[in-house]
Amino acid sequence: MNGISRARVGAAVIAVTALALAGCGRGDGTEDGAAEPAAEVTEGAASGSIEVWAMGTEGEKLGDFAAAFVAENPDVEVNVTAVPWDAAHDKIATAIAGGTTPDVSMIGTTWMGEFAATGALDPTPDLIDPAGFFEGAWETTNVGGTNYGVPWYVETRVLYYRTDLIPEAPTDWAGLTAAAQSAMDAGATYGINLQPGQTGAWQTFMPFAWQAGAQLVNDDATEFTLDSPEMVAALTEYQSFFTDGLAPTDLPQGSLEPDFMAGKIASFISGPWHVGILKELDEAGMANVALTTLPAGENEASFIGGANLAVFEATDNRDAAWKFVQWLSQPEVQVAWYSEVSDLPSVSAAWDDPAIADDPYLGVFAKQLETAVAPPSIPTWEEVASVIDTELENLAKTGADPQEIATAIQQQAAAIGTGL
Amino acid sequence: MSAVAPVRSGARAPDRTAPAVPRRHPPLRRRRTWAAWGFALPFMALFLVFTAGPVLMSFAMAITDLRSSDLRNPLAVNFVGIDNFRAVLADPLFRKAAANTAYFVLVGVPLTIGLALAIAVLLNTGITRLTAFFRVGYYMPVVTSIVAVAVVWRFLLQPDTGLINEVLGWFGIAGPNWLADTHWAMPSLIAMATWRSIGTLIIIFLAGLQGVPVSLHEAAALDGATGWQRFRYITLPTVRPTILFGAVITGIGYLQFFEEPFVMTQGGPLNSTLSVSYYIYNQFGFGNYSYAAAMSYVLFIAIIVLTVLQFRLLGDRDPRPPRRRRAPATPVARQEVGR
Amino acid sequence: MTAPPTTPPTTPPTVRSAVRPRRAKERSIGEARPQVWTYIVLGLGLLVVASPFAWMVLSSLKSEGEIRRVPPTWLPEAPSLANFSDLFARLDFPQFFTNSAVVATAVTVGNLVFCSMLGYVLAKSEFGGRTWLFRLVLATLMIPGMVTLVPLFVLVANIGLVNTYWGLILPFLAGPFGVFLMRQFIQGIPDELIDAARMDGASELRVFLQVVMPLCKPALATLAILTFLGSWNNFLWPLVVATSEEKYTLPVALALYSVGQNQTEYGLLLAGAVVIVVPVLAVFLLLQRYFVQGIAMTGIK
């Protein structure tokens, strides 16, 4: 290319860019205004076809499971596409950008704020009765005052402990520290394992904050309130385990489960999936393992997570989509789903069913779900959570002052904003 | 069908250059240029649509304030000029990530190139049997799933029961908790990345080493040149373009290193292994598309700078090694030839 | 013995051996004993380098609990193919394998053809602006991949290629890596060969096909393997482009069944990793002999 044509190409590029940019510019900000009330869903059986995305095992099993729905609604066709958890977030985001969203999709609870803020999700119509769900679970569908989708399944965190090292389950903070200490006197290397920062640590720490009575955001979720005395109290408590040597700060990845089953670690906080993992590792050893609800601070609390089902605003078949979602929220269907994939139902009535009520471990989760709290469903939550993770690492590993940590978290969170 | 004439040094059959050729065909040079464009066309067409287009769009992302909430209306954003770039450069966490990345590249690239070259030379000339076996074996890390790699490396690096600390213990050295120590986490990851990358480089260097004439080596060996000298003065200059290629590819790859911290340390401990790519990935995950795009382009500038440097150091130029004291050509030639 | 036919491309080495410390690995060709040394060194290196692969294969035969044990075990206590049979029962393997094979082969062949054509032109043709073109292509190689994901998807969606084979193939057919590789390699081919062929009246296409390509076999083999591997293991793009499972490639399908929201099924993951590696190794074994095709460069100058 000689000099002349190079200049011509350059000019063309600039022209095109300028043209594109001329079309840019935000509107009057009406997008984030009050959400319109959800349109109603028509009566009668569902018809047409709907496309559903679900991740992991749920994606695998939902296709066949939905046959019962089709049996009740003969004119409807349900196409389930399984999506891997790895990068599912990216897939949904790009689908929104490219306009290729399905009718219904499973969405992780911590992603709700972000996707709702794009305007891609359909507000929940009156067809769905919120009273049936656990309160914490229903809160995960609330973004800026409007509810999107429904909770599908839940998970919450409880205390796993070894009965040979901790004979009696602790019921409050002081009890927890004492139990960890006595476990170490009895021979354990560590009394408890708490995540010392890094990805996901906030899910282990937040229960302490909620147990202390801390509020994370103000009432309409437009501002953060992370620098409060309650938060400092929770941070101090969390840090005490590390500074007193009760919890490790550098446990290698993958060592938790073997060390717990070997009695080196006396307790840890986690969700329902660890039951299966520990059983696989050492079935006989499970005789010495018990679960209990998290010890209370000012009150009891734990973290609630799980996944929701959302309908997309761009759907061609809104009626059938919402009817399918409603069907999946019925208690009997939730129980049947539990037998398929062991997902804990988000509908409280489902827990009365013997299949769940009689399980030795699930009773603890049921009790915990009554006091489980969800983090605010704001668009920027993931970023704020990662700030909290980083500051928790400073707290646990460098012995920083809890008040300074709380202030640092508040400052950074305020700079990010809630997105609402 | 006229075959391409075998080339002989010296004499060429004078009748070959048929004088009729220039008259019957358009000027050779222009025809060759047309052919060249024809060759380039398929690639360029695909390139313009699927590479250049998205690149321009992503650059446009970087100069606006696009967030994930704008995904459905990407044009309804504000033009902010270089604000994002300024924010990136002022971000202390970005600076930390940049320092980490620089450390990784400056140590990792020479280490990987040197090791891969040494092994490639050994595979090429040092052994005669089982060559295929070794070649496949050294390529294994490239095809091994990162999950398996992570498990084995975590085992190697474990503080109490890990292999590395055990071996160090034989010499009376108490090894640190590699991945949990802010000073040792990065070197551990460098070792792991080197280990993963030499396989690809080895096969690239092997391909390049094929271009070194065996006869030259034989002639030099007859003159009593040592292996090292033959390597330095015959092999090295011939594979220089390949080494440049390897260095550039490795540099580009290492500046964007992501999988090692992602799988092993999640950027910790205390952000000592946070790489720029990992930080960008996180920012995309948070929905800060314009900020992440701006950061990507800052990284891009760094990659260009490194590549230009490498081209200067290793690139096309007079193959004579500058520092060597040159013996006068004539006496040597006479020694070679004179029999 | 006749005089050597050429003057070497570089200044000949001095006769006196320089006083330089010999590196332990470097020995001259022809000394019989050091060959053993080399084998030992390479063998030890191989042990270090290939052990995770060995662990991966062995562990795919273990139970989930055994895989998670710390420190990791090597030989399985009760080797069984349960993970594999579980995987094949849940996966529609032929479908995903076909998708991966089609896409990877198309991308590889496309790259071999287009990149060598452009690489040849950039290395050996004289037309104005070829340096700038090379720099442009090289520049795109240096752009961090993540940043173009969303724009590329929006583009592909607007063209209507979502959930199609073409959508999986086209964005990767023009690979700057291949151009870079071929250009560097072709640069090493002596100009005289090409000029001679041109002067004999051969068209550019003929020069390319009959003179240049045969000499490029090692580079082509290398490019083929690297491109095939990259395309075969590509995860993010096929995940994003395929909206129905029938277009999923193997890595996407495998991630489906092994990675959960809060936990991973290692048994399935490792079995999947082994399954996915087999074709790549096959391609590698097929092509690796081309790495050593000696090019008889004697008599060129």
Q: What is the CATH number of the domain that holds B249?
A: 1.10.3720.10
How do beta strands A104-108 and A48-55 pair?
parallel
Which of A225-229, C166-170, C275-279 bottoms out in mean pLDDT, i.e. has the lowest?
Answer: C275-279
CA distance C217 to C214: 6
Give B316-321 contacts, CB < 8 A, sequence gap 24+.
Answer: B316/B241, B316/C187, B319/B237, B319/B240, B319/C9, B319/C10, B320/C10, B320/C11, B321/B232, B321/B233, B321/B237, B321/C10
Rounded (5°) CA angle A163-A165-A168: 55
Cβ pair A26:B285 closer than 8 A: no
Residue B251 belongs to a domain = yes
Q: Which residues of B touch C298 (CB under 8 A)?
A: 213, 215
Q: Is the pLDDT of residue B126 over 80?
A: no
- Greater model confidence, B294 or A419: B294
Statement: residue C47 has pLDDT above 90: no
In total, chain A counts a number of residues equal to 420
Residue C50: pLDDT band with limits 50, 70, 90: confident
Of A326-330, C28-32, C38-42, C270-274, the least confident: C28-32
Q: How far is A403 from chain C (nearest CA, A)?
A: 31
Cα(B28)–Cα(B22) distance, rounded to whole angstroms? 7
In chain A, what residues touch B72 (CB-CB under 8 Å)?
A: 96-97, 99, 118-120
| Contact criterion met (CB below 8 Å) for B47 and C137 | yes
Q: What is the sign of the dihedral through the CA atoms of A339, A344, A345 and A348? A: positive
Range list for CATH 3.40.190.10 in chain A: 44-155+304-373, 194-246+378-420
Q: Evaluate whether A196 touches A175 at the Cβ level (below 8 Å).
A: no
Q: Chains near A, with 3+ CB pairs < 8 A?
A: B, C
Cβ–Cβ gap B213/C299 under 8 Å: no
**Residues C33, C38, C40, C41: is their CA dihedral positive or negative?**
positive
Task: Report the range of poorest mean pLDDT among A104-108, B226-230, C81-85.
Answer: B226-230
pLDDT higher than 60, residue B260: yes
Of the partner residues B35, B138, B241, the one whose CB lies closest to the CB of residue C188: B241
The number of beta carbons lying within 10 Å of the beta carbon of residue C36 is 10
Residues B263-290: tens digit of each pLDDT = 889 888 999 999 999 999 999 889 899 9
- Pick out chain A residues at pLDDT < 70: 1-38
Contact A114 B180 (CB under 8 A): no
Is C147 in Cβ contact with B58 (below 8 Å)? yes
Least CB-CB distance to A114: which of B68, B79, B270?
B68
Write out the DSSP string of C246-259.
GG--HHHHHHHHHB
Quick count: other Cβ atoms within 10 Å of Cβ C2? Answer: 6
Percent pLDDT > 90 in chain C is 21
Q: Please tell me if residue C211 touches chain A, with a CB cutoff of 8 Å.
A: no
B213 touches chain C (CB under 8 A): yes
Asked if the model's pLDDT at residue B16 lies above 50, the reply is no
Given a cut of 70, is residue B9 above it in pLDDT? Answer: no
Tell me how many domains chain B contains.
1
Token pair recorded at residue A185: 């006197």
For chain A, report the end-to-end CA distance as a whole number of angstroms.
Answer: 51
A62/A287 Cα distance (integer angstroms): 34
Which residues of chain A does C128 touch, with a Cβ-Cβ cutoff of 8 Å? 1-2
At C244, list the tokens: 């129905």
State how far Cα C279 lies from the chain centre: 13
* B324 pLDDT higher than 50: no
Can you read off the two tokens belonging to residue C183?
A: 């250009």
C207 DSSP 8-state letter: I
B327 assigned to some structural domain: no
Q: How far is CA C260 from the centre of its chain?
A: 30
The residue of chain A nearest to residue C246, with distances taken between CA atoms, is A81
Smallest Cα–Cα separation from C15: which of B213, B230, B121, B126?
A: B230
- Count the Cβ atoms, other than its own, within 10 Å of residue C181: 27
Contact B85, B294 (CB under 8 A): yes
Tell me the count of A-B CB pairs closer than 8 A: 95
Question: If contacts are CB pairs under 8 Å, which of residues 301-340 in chain A contact chain B?
Answer: none
pLDDT tens-digit series, residues C182-233: 988 888 788 888 888 888 888 888 888 888 888 888 889 889 988 998 899 8
Spell A10-23 as b/e; 16+ CB within 10 A means b.
eeeeeeeeeeeeee
Query: Which burial class, exposed, middle or buried, applies to A186 when counting CB atoms under 10 A from its CB (0-12, 13-18, 19+)?
Result: middle
**Residue A311, φ and ψ in degrees, nearest 5:** -100, 140
- Min mean pLDDT across B21-25, B122-126, C50-54 is at B21-25
The shortest CB-CB distance from A84 to any of C133, C156, C255 is to: C255
B293 contact C CB<8A: yes
Q: A35 CB contacts (<8 Å, ≥6 apart)? A: A123, A144, A145, A146
**Contact indicator for C261, A307 with CB cutoff of 8 Å:** yes
**Hey, CA dihedral for A135, A141, A142, A147, is it positive or negative?**
negative
Sign of CA dihedral A189, A202, B155, B179: negative
pLDDT, tens digit (0-9, with 9 covering 90-100), for B150-204: 878 887 888 877 888 888 888 888 889 899 999 999 999 999 999 999 988 998 8
- The partner residue sitting opposite A85, judged by closest CB among C64, C133, C259, is C259
Q: Over the range A75-107, which residues count as b (16 or more CB within 10 Å of their CB) and which as e?
A: ebebebbbbbbbbbbbbbbbbbbbebbbbbbbb
**Mean pLDDT (whole number) for B117-145:** 83
Does B237 touch chain C if contact means CB atoms closer than 8 Å?
yes
Asked if A102 contacts C163 with a C-beta cutoff of 8 angstroms, the reply is no
Does residue B27 belong to any structural domain of this protein?
Answer: no
Query: Inter-chain contact A56–C261, Cβ cutoff 8 Å?
Result: yes
Which listed CATH number (2.40.128.720, 1.10.3720.10, 3.40.50.300, 1.10.10.10) goes with C87-292? 1.10.3720.10
DSSP-derived secondary structure letter, A417: -
Full domain range(s) for residue B134? 93-157+189-318
CB within 8 Å: A253 and B154:
yes
Chain A environment of C236 (Cβ under 8 Å): 87, 90
- Give yes or no for residue B129 having a pLDDT over 90: no
Long-range CB contacts (within 8 A, 24+) of B252-256: B252/B303, B252/B306, B252/B307, B252/C141, B252/C142, B253/B197, B254/B104, B254/B105, B254/B108, B254/B109, B254/B112, B254/B193, B255/B101, B255/B105, B255/B299, B255/B302, B255/B303, B255/B306, B256/B299, B256/B303, B256/C144, B256/C145
CB contact under 8 A, A120 and B71: yes
- Which of A374-383, B43-52, C224-233, C285-294 has the weakest average pLDDT? C285-294
B60-112 pLDDT, tens digit each: 889 998 888 888 887 888 888 889 999 999 999 999 999 999 999 999 999 99
Look up residue A359 and give its DSSP letter. -
- Tell me what the pLDDT averaged over chain C comes to: 80
Tokens 């911290």 -> residue: B261
The confidence band for B335, taking pLDDT boundaries of 50, 70 and 90, is very low
To test the contact with chain B by mutation, choose from A5, A111, A114 the residue with the greatest count of B C-beta atoms within 10 A, namely A114
Are C120 and C186 in contact by the 8 Å Cβ rule? The answer is yes
By the CB < 8 Å criterion, does C69 face chain A?
A: yes
CA–CA separation, A237 vs C265, rounded Å? 34
Cα separation of C182 and A167, whole Å? 70
* A282 phi/psi in degrees, rounded to 5: -160, 85
Alpha carbon distance C272, B144 (integer Å): 11
pLDDT digit string, tens, across residues C242-272: 988 889 998 888 888 777 777 788 888 888 8
Query: Is beta strand A158-162 parallel, antiparallel or unpaired with respect to A267-270?
Result: antiparallel
C-beta atoms of C29 and B217 within 8 A: yes
**What pLDDT, on a 0 to 100 scale, did the predictor assign at position A31?**
44
CB–CB contact B43 C115 (8 Å): yes
- In angstroms, the CA C119 to CA C134 distance is 9
Architecture field, domain A44-155+304-373: 3-Layer(aba) Sandwich (3.40)
Looking at residue A172, the DSSP 8-state letter turns out to be B
Phi, psi dihedrals of residue C144, rounded to the nearest 5°: -55, 130
Q: Does domain A194-246+378-420 have CATH number 3.40.190.10?
A: yes
Task: Name every chain A residue with its beta carbon within 8 A of the beta carbon of C157.
Answer: 98-100
Coil/strand/helix, residue A330: coil
Query: What is the token pair recorded at C107?
Result: 């991308």
Residues of B within an 8 Å Cβ radius of A: 56, 60, 64, 68-79, 151, 154, 157-159, 177, 179-180, 264, 266-271, 282, 284-288
Q: Using CB atoms, list chains with 3+ pairs below 8 Å to chain C.
A: A, B
Which amino acid, one-letter code, is at A414?
Answer: A
Spatial separation of the C-alpha atoms in residues A238 and A399, rounded to whole Å: 11
Kindly report which listed range (A71-80, C1-10, C41-50) carries the lowest average pLDDT score. C1-10
Which tokens is B2 given?
Answer: 């006229």
- Rg (chain C; Cα; Å): 25
User: A42: which 2 tokens?
Assistant: 């028509």
**Closest CB from B131, B216, B227 relative to C27:** B227
Residue contact C8–B203, C-beta within 8 A? no
- From chain B, pick out residues whose CB is under 8 angstroms from the CB of A250: 159, 177, 180, 269
CA B136/CA B133 separation, integer angstroms? 5
For residue C91, the chain A residue with the least C-alpha distance is: A60
pLDDT attached to residue C129: 78
Continuous H helices in chain C: 34-59, 64-67, 82-90, 93-124, 130-141, 149-159, 165-173, 176-187, 191-199, 204-206, 213-215, 217-233, 236-241, 250-258, 266-287
Residues of B in contact with C185 (CB under 8 A): 207-208, 211, 241-242
In whole angstroms, give the CA distance from residue A275 to residue C179: 52
Give the pLDDT score at B331: 43
Contact between chains at A17 and B56 (C-beta distance less than 8 A): yes
Contact A125, A39 (CB under 8 A): yes
| Confidence at B18, pLDDT banded by 50, 70, 90 | very low
In a domain, B12, yes or no: no
Q: Give A114's Cβ-side CA count (13 Å radius).
A: 24
Q: Tokens 């199609």: give the residue.
A: C164
Q: What is the ipTM of this complex?
A: 0.84
Name the residue among C90, C162, C259 with its Cβ closest to that of A98. Answer: C162
Q: Does B155 lie at the interface with C, CB-CB under 8 angstroms?
A: yes
On chain A, the residues whose CB falls within 8 A of the CB of C171 are: none
Q: pLDDT per residue over C87-118, tens digit each?
A: 888 888 889 999 999 999 999 999 999 999 99
Length of chain B: 339
**Which is nearest to A320 in space by CA: A161, A122, A88?**
A122
DSSP H helices, chain B, are 20-24, 28-47, 53-62, 83-90, 92-121, 131-143, 146-157, 163-170, 185-209, 214-222, 227-230, 236-238, 240-255, 259-260, 276-286, 289-314, 329-337
Asked if A24 has any chain B CB less than 8 Å from its own CB, the reply is yes
Using CB atoms, pick whichever of B267, B270, B286 lies closest to residue A383.
Answer: B286
Confidence class for position C167, pLDDT limits 50, 70, 90: very high
| Chain A interface includes C256 (CB < 8 A) | yes
At A24 the pLDDT is 57
Instruction: Show residues of chain C in contact with A257, CB under 8 Å.
Output: 68
